């Protein structure tokens, strides 16, 4: 992106609220109770009956607004994470320096992050009728997420992911599918979906994802989709085409470009958040792009960093009516603050052990530092 594009975007921003008061906006979020304490109470009523009274503070201008209600649908895992100095080669061996067990799965991770940031979240997916499933559900409830719609399949084990993290924070995963995709769209109560503001889909059976996305559009809920590593192998074309917002890393973006008619780098009718790992992220829209290089961090464990980015981005964007009042805005300048918060959340997750991390506004503000907007690059396309 050229410097001329960025300069032109700055000139066009006169009269609009963007990043002049980033720090004041985050202070206002904290003052409103968006540090996760009030959000946990709201989540207990996130079944569509009594949660609508919840409120938070607009992340852009500090005005009072209703806290968005989000359903995250997809994988719920139990994670066993092993920390080693280096990954062994073929026929090799290495010592486990530390072993941790915790809840995981993209749908669950995003839900917990949203509640941490003052939102209200229902998680929808499936676990087995075993101890790992019970632990996963208990962890969600303790975090303030409503797990009451999770299907328990007594005939299958809960999916367990074995995550091996080396000394540089890089990882590899071993997993069994278990009950991870035993849920179907028909199992989600339509009144619950109708009461939600947004549906966030993660990896799941393509047929289930398609039916859920159709149901979301029927209720006028906005839709985001983070298809995960297998996007090039699974028949997600219809869901990708219907999503208002896509979350992809560079490898996944290449797979989408190769297997569908969508160009993630220059989308024609949607917003695409492309996660660039240690290089931050770029938000691509039909009218231009906004990018940020991320915040410096010495990674400990990158598991869940992409989920933390999605939670921070959604928690900020969904509180801004100008972004979501008619689908998701195609003006890249609207995503400056969501991008910064998403990158800060991703950096916090990369520094933490396991996929779960404290995403309070205190932690986000500290990670963002004094002038996070200085590194934003904006290009406007006409």
Any idea what the CATH number is for the domain that residue 167 is in? 3.40.1190.20
**pLDDT reported for residue 233:** 94
- For 279, the domain range is 3-380
**pLDDT reported for residue 20:** 52
In degrees rounded to 5, what are phi and psi of residue 232? -75, -15
Decide: 146 and 46 in contact? Cβ < 8 Å.
yes
Total domains in the fold of the chain = 1
Q: Among 299, 326, 318, which Cα is nearest to 166's?
A: 299
Within 202-276, where are the H helices?
206-218, 237-242, 250-259
Decide: 34 and 103 in contact? Cβ < 8 Å.
no
Q: Among 144, 137, 128, 131, which Cα is nearest to 104's?
A: 137
Residues contacting residue 2 through CB under 8 Å, at least 6 positions apart: 379
Which whole-number Å values give the CA distances from 285 to 138, 202, 240, 289, 325, in the listed order? 39, 21, 15, 6, 16
Q: Which two tokens stand for residue 104?
A: 């995981």
Give tens-digit pLDDT for 88-115: 888 888 899 999 898 999 999 999 999 9
The half-sphere exposure of 86 on its side-chain side, counting CA atoms within 13 A, is 5
Count of CB atoms situated within 10 Å of the CB of 35: 20
What is the rounded CA–CA span in Å between residue 233 and residue 227?
Answer: 11
Decide: 247 and 273 in contact? Cβ < 8 Å.
yes
325-341 residues labelled b (16+ CB within 10 A) or e (exposed): eeebbbbbbbbbbbbbb
Decide: 43 and 360 in contact? Cβ < 8 Å.
no
**pLDDT reported for residue 109:** 95
Decide: 213 and 243 in contact? Cβ < 8 Å.
yes
DSSP letter (8 states) at residue 176:
-
**pLDDT reported for residue 347:** 93
In the predicted model, is pLDDT for residue 5 greater than 50? Answer: no
Q: Among 264, 360, 256, which Cα is nearest to 35's?
A: 360
In degrees rounded to 5, what are phi and psi of residue 325? -70, -20
**pLDDT reported for residue 352:** 78
Which residue is listed with tokens 């919840």?
Answer: 54
**Which residues does the annotation mark as catalytic?**
307
Residue 328 or residue 173, greater confidence: 328
What is the rounded CA–CA span in Å between residue 363 and residue 248?
Answer: 25
Q: Which residues face 299 on adjacent strands?
A: none
In degrees rounded to 5, what are phi and psi of residue 291? -130, 155
Asked which of 20-34, 179-193, 242-256 is least confident by mean pLDDT, the reply is 20-34
Asked which of 15-24, 257-266, 273-282, 331-340 is least confident by mean pLDDT, the reply is 15-24
For the purposes of burial, counting CB atoms within 10 Å of the CB of 234, is it exposed (0-12), middle (13-18) or buried (19 or more)?
middle
Give tens-digit pLDDT for 289-310: 999 999 988 877 777 899 999 9
**pLDDT reported for residue 369:** 86
Residue 369 or residue 15, greater confidence: 369
Asked which of 2-6, 266-270, 335-339 is least confident by mean pLDDT, the reply is 2-6
Mean pLDDT computed over 262-285? 95
What mean pLDDT, rounded, does the chain reach?
84
To the question of pTM greater than 0.85 for the whole model, the response is no
Q: Which two tokens stand for residue 270?
A: 């949607």
Q: Among 282, 225, 273, 231, which Cα is nearest to 254's?
A: 231
Confidence of residue 214 (pLDDT cuts 50, 70, 90): very high
**pLDDT reported for residue 381:** 75
Size of the chain in residues: 382
Give tens-digit pLDDT for 114-163: 999 999 999 999 999 999 999 999 999 999 999 999 999 999 999 998 98
Confidence of residue 50 (pLDDT cuts 50, 70, 90): very low
């Amino acid at each position: 992106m050229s410097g001329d594009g960025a300069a032109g975007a700055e000139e066009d921003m006169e009269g609009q609220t963007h990043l002049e008061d980033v720090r004041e906006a985050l202070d206002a979020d904290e003052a409103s109770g968006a540090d996760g304490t009030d959000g946990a109470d709201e989540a207990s009523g996130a079944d569509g009956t009594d949660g609508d009274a919840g409120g938070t503070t607009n992340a852009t201008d500090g005005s009072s607004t209703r806290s968005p209600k989000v359903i995250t649908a997809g994988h719920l895992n139990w994670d066993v994470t092993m920390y080693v100095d280096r990954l062994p080669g073929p026929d090799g061996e290495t010592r486990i320096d530390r072993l941790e067990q915790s809840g995981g799965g993209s749908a669950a991770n995003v839900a917990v992050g949203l509640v941490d940031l003052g939102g209200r979240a229902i998680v929808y997916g499936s676990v087995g009728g075993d101890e790992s499933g019970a632990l996963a559900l208990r962890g969600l409830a303790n975090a303030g997420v409503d797990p009451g719609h999770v299907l328990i399949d007594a005939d299958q084990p809960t999916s367990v992911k074995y995550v091996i993290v080396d000394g540089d924070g890089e990882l590899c995963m071993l997993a069994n599918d278990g009950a991870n995709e035993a849920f179907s769209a028909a199992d989600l109560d339509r009144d619950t979906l109708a009461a939600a503001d947004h549906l966030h889909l993660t990896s799941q059976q393509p047929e289930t994802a398609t039916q859920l996305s159709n149901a979301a559009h029927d209720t006028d809920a906005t839709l985001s989709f983070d298809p995960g590593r297998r996007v090039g192998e699974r028949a997600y074309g219809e869901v990708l085409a219907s999503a208002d917002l896509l979350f992809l890393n560079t490898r996944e973006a290449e797979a989408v470009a190769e297997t569908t008619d969508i160009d993630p780098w220059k989308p024609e009718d949607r917003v695409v958040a492309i996660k660039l790992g240690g290089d931050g992220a770029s938000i691509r829209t039909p009218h231009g792009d906004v990018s940020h290089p991320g915040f410096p961090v010495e990674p400990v464990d990158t598991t869940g960093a992409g989920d933390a980015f999605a939670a921070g981005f959604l928690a900020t964007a969904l509180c801004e009516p100008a972004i979501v009042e008619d689908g998701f805005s195609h003006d890249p300048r609207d995503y400056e603050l969501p991008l910064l918060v998403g990158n800060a959340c991703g950096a916090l997750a990369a520094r933490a052990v396991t996929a779960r991390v404290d995403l309070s506004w205190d932690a986000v503000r500290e990670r963002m530092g004094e002038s996070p907007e200085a590194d934003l690059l904006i290009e406007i396309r006409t």
